Each structure stands twice: as C-alpha cells, then as structure tokens.
Structure 1
Amino acid sequence: MIANLTYVLPMSTSNFNLPPQLTNWHPYKNSQITDLCLILGDQLNAKHSWFQQVQSQRLFVFMELAQEANYVTHHQQKILAFFAAMRSFAMALHQAGHQVLYLSLDAAVNSGNLTANLDQLITQLGITTVHLQQPDEYRLDQQLQQWATVQPSVSVTWCDTEHFICARDVLQQWFGDKPSYLMEAFYRRLRKQTGYLVDEHQQPFGGQWNYDKSNRNKLPAKHKIPAPLLFANDTSELADMLQRMGIKTMGSAQTDKLLWPVNRQQSLQLLDYVLEYLLPNFGLYQDAMTESSWAVYHARLSFSLNTKMLSPKLVIERAIDYWQQHQERISLAQIEGFVRQILGWREFVRAIYWQFMPNYKALNYFKHQRPLPDYFWTGDTKMRCLQHSLSQSLDYAYAHHIQRLMVIGNFSLLTELDPDAVDQWYLGVYIDAIEWVELPNTRGMSQFADGGIVASKPYVASGNYVNKMSSYCSNCHYQVKLKSGENSCPLNSLYWHFIEQKQELFANNPRMSLVIKQWQQRSPSERNDILATAQRYLEQLNSL
C-alpha cells in the first residue's frame, strides 16, 4: 500500500462564478415556463428522474438562503462546500440543456427566505405548478408543507428524492410503533432485502452478520496511514460574499483550496481512492484515533452522500464489486464494516428521525443544562484528546465517529452539557451535518438524551478507553492512570461521578449492572475522593 499519498485536484470551474443567464429571471417572464422545480442544497442527485429529459416548460430553481446559513452557526467550510456544490450542479444542469435560475445569497431579489422567494417567483413568472422533492429535514418539510396548503393559484406536487434505500416510514412499516428499535434487526432485514453480502439462502457471507468486534484495533506504532485525498476548489469569492453579507461562521478555511469534493466527478474520484487505498484497513482501524492523521482510514464520503452527489446504492455496490475482485488484500470484515455504516447505520438513523420527530428534538432524559465551555470554539483545553478532536473539527469541519462519540460526546455527557447546545454545535461544525443524521447520532447515540430510543445504554467511558484506542494520553497534561486528585484525567472522575448520579436510573439495565456493581464495591474513602475531584472539575469546567 502506498503511504503518505495526497492528490490535490483543481476544480474545473474557476471561482464558481455563475454565468449571467443562470442568475437573471427576467428572460423567463412571459415565456412558456409554467413549472418551477425547487432544488434544495442537499438534493444534488444527477440521477433523479427530473433531469433525464429536457422539458421546455420547466425551470429548475436554486437558492442560497440566509435562513439556511443562519439557523445555526455553521463552519465556514460547510457553507462554502454547500454553495460550491449547488453552483456546480446548477451549471451542470444548464450545460445539459435544462433551464436554470440560481438566486445567489447576494442577489437583489433574494429575500433570504425560502417561501418568500417562491411567492415572488410564482408572481413574477406566472408559474402554475411547483414541483418539490421531499426535504430530509423536518424543519424544511414543515415550512414547505405549510406553504403548500395556502397556495390558491398554483398546484404543488411532491416526489421522492430517489436517493435513500428505505422510505421515511420504514420502521413503522416493518416493526410498528415501538419505544425503541434495534439497528441490528433493521440491518439484517435490509441485507436480506438488498442481497448485499448474503448468499442464495439469505445467510451472511462468512456466517456472521456483523464483524464489529474486528473493528476495534489501535493503530500499531509507526503505522503509515495513506494521506487523505484532498481537492483544491477555489471558493475565495464565495467566502468574500459570506463576509459581505454578514454570515457568522465558526472554524477556519483555506478558501482558495477548499479540500472537499463539490461535484459528482470529484466525489467519484474520492470513492475510487477510498476503495483502493482505504478499504483494505477500513474496518480494522475504524475506531482508532491518532494525532498523526485527521482522517485515518475513514472514507469522508458523507458530504457527497448527504448532498446526494453520490447514492448509497452506488457506493455500496462499487465497494462490494471492488472487494470481490481484491479479496486477497481486503477481508470480509473490512467490507462488512463499510457496508454497515451506510446500509445499516445511515438508513437507520434517518428512519429514527422521521419516526420520532418533532418530539425527538426536545428530549432531555437527564435534564442536563450546562452551557458549552469556551474551548468548543477554540480547542484551547489541556485535555489532549479533547483539544485534538475539537481543533481538528474546527480546522477541517470533520472528525471521525469515535472522536465525535467517545471523545467530544463522552465529555459532553459526563459534564452534563445541555443537549440543545450540543446539538447546535454538532449541527454547525461538521461538513456532513444535516439534522436528520446529526440529531439521532448526537441527542440519541452520544448524549442518551432520548432515554434509549437509539442506544440501549449511555456511551460513556473513562480515560482508559481513550488510552486504549489512541495516542492522546501519552502527550497530555493530565495523567490517565490517576482516578482522583491533582492532574488526574478528568474523564476518570467524571465517569464515576456519572455512574454515581445515574445508578438508580440504570439499576435494571443489564449492560450497566457490572459497572454499577464495581462502583459500589469501592471503599467509601475512594468514592469520596473521586467524587470530590469530579465536582472540582465541574466547577472549573471552562479552564480544564
């Protein structure tokens, strides 16, 4: 395997400047245009049936919206990537012969509000039919649903985004109303339905459905990780527009070399790179953390998937085909781990989102209320695991799932941070964060604020887990071996403080009973020292 390999691929469209014919609506006034087709920023599916034939009466409309840029504080790279991807897709449709109107953020006719813009265009262009794809965010779905019910002069039609493998209501269809659902049961059923990695008898290849136990290896010393594939998209003019329009962002960006794929071509190049260089070790080191690589063996395809530049079906089938041709260097555990993330977890959390919204967003099982410490926006903390994970998030708009879950999420839960504030930070900081995928992962899996809808136990851990799975602890101000006292790892005492505080809630939970028993068997003096240390850390939370 080639180590330390980085490609930097320039974007073919300079600065993402839009040609005048895409930004001017006047030519469509008094024309034969009767149908407006709205394309949201995460609906960039080139394979959608809308685009397979040019229709002279149809106008495809894109909008860069202040309401979307401002509903949380987003990472600068996230907004730049979304706008660049939208502009790339709009230009591709235009070049394919479709009629396209693009309202840039700074357009004089752009009110910044989705439905106000629709009203204006309907009036100005004499639109009689509006075609909508179902939004994936509940917030936007409700905005458009409510708008559609009060339209006296236009017909509104809805269609599927033609992206996901499962329908929104798949949990209801398959399992009916339940207080919680098991991802494993969902995943196995979906494997049988799709035929992915199963034999003619619908049994799993290798005799196991799940190779997660093979996905928990720490990186060996001096292990060489392939450098991530990066792109060099010049978004500097988009960044100037954000500043000019007063859009508040977090994090940093090299705006003249935005590293994320922003069109289907680049997304396919990244997929090819993942299959050749990362898939052979994807599952093996899926949970590993290191300071030597911010991407490790993770695919970083989630932005391309969540904007629909790539489909889950395409990615899974390309990966399985590649594995079948290279089984001498890619084990079954690697491909199963890859497929499980997309076919299993990604489809599952979307189903959870639509099954339990809108109430899901307000759940706060532990009633935690602490505000986020300042270092969530600076990375300035003496805890090395947290410092690295936060700084990486702010630098790259990315952290892999163990950094999100077992470092930042674990710390947030142990320190009793308000899940509303945690949600808003996660939704803003990560390039791939759209609420349907962020909310079940954060409020559910990470914070257990849903009381067990997604996870059967809280995902909490002491410093020992971080030490086992990373290189962080050897370079930290705090000592991971100490459970209490001066310079002891905060995760240690905070973990046992959490167990002490929540033990009655989990007295009957079989997955928590052992650790509760271990805590109760400690001597009173040891417990008191640990709890006193945890209390001191909670009181000094902003200066850890």
Structure 2
Amino acid sequence: MTIILPVLADQLSLDLASLKAVDRADAVILMAEVMGEAGAPKHHKTKIAFLFSAMRHHADALREQGWRVDYVALDDPENSQSLGGEVDRAKARHNADRVVSVEAGCWRLIEAQRSWGEVLSDDRFLVSRAWFADWAEGRKRLLMEDFYRLMRKRTGLLMDGDQPTGGQWNFDADNRKPPAKGLVYPAPPQFQPDDTTEAVLALVEARFGDHFGDLRPFARAVTREQALVCLADFVETRLARFGDYQDAMVAGEDGMFHSQLSALINCGLLGPMEVCQAAEAAWTAGVVPLNAVEGFIRQIIGWREYVRGIHWIAGPDYESRNVLGAARPLPSFYWTGETEMRCMAEAVRATKQNAHAHHIQRLMVLANFALLAGIDPAEVSAWFLIVYADAYEWVETPNVIGMGLFADGGLMASKPYAAGGAYINRMSDYCRGCAYDVKKRTGEGACPFNSLYWDFLARNRDRLGRNHRLLRMYDGWDRFDPAEQARIQAQAAGFLATL
C-alpha cells in the first residue's frame, strides 16, 4: 500500500504531522511547483524564488532522511500546473490508494485537500483551530492580550511559576521609542545562491518576469541550516534593541533591529517555539533586556497564533468584509512607489526590493493610508498577499482586514489604527525632506495624512462616533470651527481626486 504525502510550500518542516503519521516505507512525499499557486495571484518574484528554492532544498533534506520524494518542477512538460492535478498524477504513478496531507493555510486549499483524502491538523502551531474556537466561543471581545497571557501560561515562556517574569505581562509601553541619532543597524546574514537557487532564479526570470518586485540581488536563507544562522544572528546582534525600536522607521534602513524571520517561520524552516526559546535563553543569560524578549515572544505566541485563530473562526468570507464601505481603487503608487509622500515611497521601495517591510511600515504607513483614503479592503488585502514573502491567507487577511483596515467592524481591534502625519513624524525620519509639510493640515504642500485623518473620522462618524477609544479624537474634530472643518474636507477631497 503506497501513501501519497503532499507537502505544500509553507510546510517545509521535517516534523510535519503527516510524516509522523505513516510508515516511511509506505510513503511517497509529493512536492510540486505549479502555476496555479505561483501565478494566481501574481506573487512577488522574490517570494516565488524563495519558496521554490526552499522547496527544492527541503526535498533534498527529506531524501537524506530516507524519504522517497516525488518532486515536480514547474517546467516539467507533464506538470498539470495544479496541486489537485499533481496529486492525481502521483496516485496513478505510484499506484497509491491513500493520500494524507496537513491542513493548508487558506480556505480554498483546505476544501481541495478534503477531496484528496485525509487532512491532519497542523501541529506546528501552538494551538489547534478547534482549541482556539473553544477559547473564543461566548466571549464578548476577543482580546489578544487575554489570549497572550493564556499562551504564556501554556508554554511556560517568561514565567515564574504562575506569575510573569518581571512582574508584568506586557512591556509594550517601553517599546515605542523613535529612532535615535547615531544608531547602527546590523545587516542580516547574506547567503550566496548555490546551483539550486541559481536554477530557480533563472526559472523565475523566464516565467514570472512581469510580476511585481525585484529578484536580484538574491541573498535569502533557503535551507534549515541557513535559517538557524539567521536566528542566531538576530539573537546575538539585534534582539537587544528590538524592543526599544520595534516601532521606529528610518529611510534606507529596511531591517533595523527586526528579526526578519517571519518568512522562515511561516514556511516551516523555523519553528515558533524554538525561536521563542532562543530569545528567552538570551535573556536568561543576561545578554538582552526583558522588554525586548517579551516584545518578540508576544509577536510569536501571542499575535501570530491569535491572527491564525481569528482567520479560521471568521470564515471564508472574511476577506470580503467592508463595514466602512470603502470602495476607492488601490492607487498605482502601491505598485510603482512613485509618490511624493516619502513615507509611502519608502515603504513601497522596501517592499519591492525585499518582499519585506516591517510591521509598522505595513500597519501605520501602507495600511493606514488605505484606511484613511477609503481604499477597497479586498484590493488592499490582495496586494499584501502578493508582495510579501511571509504572506499567506491565514496571517495576511486578519492583519489587513481586521487590524489594518477595521473592515471587520471590530472583531479584532477595538478601534481603527488611524493616524495622521504626526505619528509618522514622531516614529521616523521620513518627513524630513518630504515634499509635504507634516505640520500643515490644509493649504499648499500640506501633508495628505493630516486632512485624510480628520476626513476619515468625519465621514465615518455614524459608525465610529460612539467608540469610547475615539471620543477624544471626535472632541478634537468638534473643536474646529465649521470653516476649518470645511477646509480640511476640501483638502482631503482634492488630494483623493488626484489618485
């Protein structure tokens, strides 16, 4: 009896549940590069190259462990270019009567997997879909902080018995420093492409040349061994200052003190607990401060697990939610970076070059602008999924629809994460040298974020005016005299007309 074990591009872990569920002698692992996944939507060139190279290297690692691997390359002339088609072909090739796969991270693929055969829970996450649904059932508010504290207790990370290490659960108030002068931002490790990666790069150039983003230079980690080097480098060189400056932005410094491990974790080359334990060990050894380690661990066992849970309980229509009725098309500068707003230009440039931007660039620049400008959430969500190497439906959709755009009406966030130019000016150096004046609300050269912020509040007052976290903001709007309100709204309308 032969068992086919399909392994998806984000399941590159040697301890995958399906591998533990069968006898190795009976199994054939199927891995396939297909246009049905890489080309629809048209993912960032670097994202495709990263995953194809990581897949090919992972296939070699599996073979070294004694697994039979049936690998279908994109340019195989017999390739059906769909995962379902490749499962059917593999069953015929190997005369298999059973298929066992691990649940995918999107609704569409999970539905397809059920037609293939058995689908196992993905135990690389720290809680199952069913566990999160049980936790969420009956709660009036699905507060991430409540979930995070429970996860600390479940994992034992940064715990002294049943109490949090340091006497408090959350050090977020210590982690909001603007960039300081004279800081040096260590570059992450760079890896010379080997023959396998070079072959993938040539393939991507030939087949996906019209996709968004830069492909070269390509120096990403694509193996388990390289991923471990990246983890160690982050802990040793950047973690100590990650906490203080995790919300800061500096032009030309795309990584700063961030780990840049999310793509490696989300595709399976690193495990969530091992990265948290590495960070905790550095604190125990006395080489990094507690606020940095807690802030990093919260991102993994708190936020990452929480958004996945939200994705599954929200249902397959989550991406279509749009409670604020935003309908403006996505501006072209999200693809080109050609805008005089320096913060937007910098965030898009980093995205185009690296298939990566850190979380404040994503939330408080790119998503914030889309929120203020009333851009269609489905278009924004599709863009985020395409352009980032760490983006999969389960993580991208809640972060954009819920956190970034408040399109779910508050399922995730207690208020919209809306901000004017003052926030960006405080947390970055983007406003220096910008064509717009961040101190001006109206008039020639006024920062668009300022008028758009107040206009957003005004036009959504029926929906948001009773939100207790926005009362002070609406009080500020009401203190403007009618003439100033009219000028602000005219300024916003004039700018939006240029989009």
- TM interval, shorter chain, is over 0.9
* 8 A contact 2:381–2:400 mirrored in 1: yes
| Cα separation, 2, equivalents of 1:496 and 1:310 | 43
Residue 185 of structure 1: aligned partner: 146
2:84 aligns to what SS in structure 1?
Answer: helix
Look up the SS of the partner of 2:25 in the other structure.
coil
TM-score normalised over the length of structure 1:
0.89
Matched AA of 1:214: D
Q: Is the 8 A contact 1:412 1:422 kept in 2?
A: yes
Given that 2:113 and 2:119 are in contact with CA atoms closer than 8 Å, whether structure 1 keeps it comes out as no
Measure how far apart 1:354 and its partner are.
0.6
Query: Deviation digits for residues 21-80 of structure 1, max 9, x if unmatched?
Result: xxxxxxxxxxxx611111111111113365579722211110001110122121100000
In structure 1, how many angstroms separate the alpha carbons of the residues matched to 2:213 and 2:206?
Answer: 18
In 2, the alpha carbon distance for the partners of 1:140 and 1:315 equals 28
1:472-508: per-residue Cα shift (whole Å, max 9, x none)? 0012000001110110000000001001111221222
Task: Measure, in 2, the Cα distance between the counterparts of 1:115 and 1:296.
Answer: 41
Deviation at 1:352, TM superposition (A): 0.3
Contact 2:122 2:128 in 1 (8 A): no
Alignment of 1:37-186 (within 5 A): 37-48=5-16, 51=19, 55-145=24-114, 147-148=115-116, 156-178=117-139, 180-186=141-147
Residue in structure 2 matching 1:304, options 251, 264, 288: 264
For 2:213, the equivalent position in structure 1 comes to 251
- Name the residue aligned to 2:364: 406
Residues 18 and 101 in structure 2, CA contact (< 8 A), matched pair in contact too: no
Structure 1 partner of 2:427: 469
Q: Distance in 2 between matches of 1:248 and 1:141?
A: 29
Matches of 1:324 and 1:267, distance apart in 2: 23
Q: Which amino acid aligns with 2:164?
A: P
Aligned to 2:204: 242
CA distance in 2, matches of 1:187, 1:265: 30
Cα distance, 1:229–1:245 mapped onto 2, change above 3 Å: closer
**Within the alignment, does 1:504 sit opposite 2:462 as a pair?**
yes
Query: How far apart are residue 179 of structure 1 and its match?
Result: 6.2
Residue 335 (str. 1) matches residue 290 (str. 2): no
C-alpha contact (below 8 Å) 1:106/1:245 kept by paired residues = no
Q: Distance in 2 between matches of 1:212 and 1:262?
A: 32
Q: Does 1:344 align with 2:302?
A: yes
Residue of structure 2 in register with 1:16 after alignment: none
State whether residues 169 and 355 of structure 1, in contact with CA within 8 Å, keep that contact through their aligned partners in structure 2: no
The residue type paired with residue 82 of structure 1 is L
> Residues 354-373 of structure 1 correspond to what in structure 2 (within 5 A)?
354-373=312-331
| 1:198 equivalent in alignment to 2:167 | no
> Of 203, 228, 251, which residue of structure 2 is paired with 1:291?
251
Residue type at the aligned position of 2:271: S
What do residues 100-130 of structure 1 show as CA deviations (whole Å, max 9, x unaligned)?
1100011112111111221122123211111
Secondary structure of 1:284's match? helix
Helix, strand or coil for the counterpart of 2:231? helix
Aligned residues: 496
- CA separation in 2, counterparts of 1:389 and 1:86? 29
Matched, 1:282 2:251: no
CA contact (8 A) 1:457 1:512 kept: yes
Shift of 1:159: 2.2
The Cα of 1:374 is off from its aligned counterpart by 1.2
3-state SS in 1 of match to 2:14: coil
What is the one-letter code of the residue matched to 1:325?
A
Conserved? CA contact 1:349–1:437, under 8 Å: yes
1:523 aligns with 2:491: no
Letter matched to residue 213 of structure 2: G
Letter in 2 for 1:259: A
* C-alpha distance in structure 1 between counterparts of 2:465 and 2:132, whole Å: 29
8 Å Cα contact 1:485/1:533 also seen in 2? yes
Q: Which amino acid aligns with 2:363?
A: L
For the aligned residue pairs, the C-alpha RMSD in angstroms reads 1.6
Report the Cα distance in structure 1 between the residues aligned to 2:315 and 2:40, rounded to whole angstroms: 18
Query: For the structure 1 residues 314 and 505, does the alpha-carbon distance in structure 2 shift closer, same or farther, using more than 3 Å as the test?
Result: same
Report the Cα offset of residue 178 of structure 1: 4.5
Q: 5+ residue gaps in structure 2?
A: none
Moved more, 136-145 or 227-236: 227-236
* Amino acid corresponding to residue 157 of structure 1 in structure 2: E
Normalised by the length of structure 2, the TM-score is 0.96
Counterpart residue type for residue 226 of structure 2: Q
Q: Deviations over 1:303-356 (max 9, x none)?
A: 110011111111111111121002xx4211111001000010000000000111
**1:385 aligns to 2:343 (yes or no):** yes
Residues 252-297 of structure 1, C-alpha deviations (whole Å, 9 max, x = no match): 111xx52221111011000000100111101100000001411011
Query: Does structure 1 conserve the Cα–Cα contact (< 8 Å) formed by 2:178 and 2:426?
Result: yes
Q: Is the 8 A contact 1:54 1:97 kept in 2?
A: no
Which residue of the other structure, out of 228, 231, 244, is the alignment partner of 1:271?
A: 231
Deviation at 1:243, TM superposition (A): 4.3
DSSP-derived class of the 1:505 partner:
helix
Distance 1:59 1:323 in 2: 42
User: Secondary structure of the residue that 1:100 maps to in structure 2?
Assistant: strand
- Which amino acid letter does the alignment assign opposite residue 44 of structure 1? L
Partner of 2:170: 210
Q: Which residue matches 1:20?
A: none
